[in-house]
Amino acid sequence: MDLTLAILKPDCVRRKLTGKAIDFIESKGFKTLCMKKVKLDRPQAEAFYAVHKSKNFFNDLILFMTSGPCIPMVLQKEEAVTEFREIIGATDPKKAKEGTLRKLYADNVQENIIHGSDSMENAKKEIAFFFPLTEIIS
């Protein structure tokens, strides 16, 4: 079984959609191995999203991700990264397929309720950013 990282973003928490999002994810066959609520500070958010540092949306992304608590989760399923990217939908909810999490609940391209790892390599790094191995219960 493969692992991926999901983050229920501050807009998901603020809008009280966490239960609906978790139910949706688990209904698609993902097993939640661990999760916790965290409030990222600016250095943490900048470190996590360092890959986007040169992009014009970086500062807005950091401001958004530090605007309230979020919920990182380690998920397990065969082909977890690919499958998860499929069920969450395109970053822009207007372009997301019907029935995806972002199409159902996201407001816009920035406040799109959820993060999902984009590769197995990044999933490993992202999981390690939030969870020591002792917290991952399979």
Is residue 52 part of the annotated active site? The answer reads no
Angle of helix 120-130 relative to helix 80-88, nearest 10 degrees, comes to: 80
Q: What is the mean pLDDT of residues 62-76?
A: 98
- The whole-number pLDDT of residue 134 equals 76
CATH topology of domain 2-38+71-135: Alpha-Beta Plaits (3.30.70)
pLDDT grade for 45, boundaries at 50, 70 and 90: very high
Spatial distance between the Cα atoms of 2 and 101, rounded to a whole number of angstroms: 21
The pTM of the full predicted model, rounded to 2 decimals, is 0.93
Convert the pLDDT of each residue in 116-131 to its tens digit.
999 999 999 999 999 9
pLDDT tens, 87-114?
999 999 999 999 999 999 999 998 999 9
Q: Cβ atoms within 10 A of the Cβ of 137, count? A: 8
For 25-36, what is each residue's pLDDT tens digit? 999 999 999 999
- Asked whether residue 47 carries a pLDDT value surpassing 90, the answer given is yes
Cβ within 8 Å of residue 58, ≥6 positions away = 49, 52
Distance CA 108, CA 27 (A): 24
**pLDDT for the residue 113:** 96
Which listed residue (9, 77, 102, 115) is catalytic?
A: 115
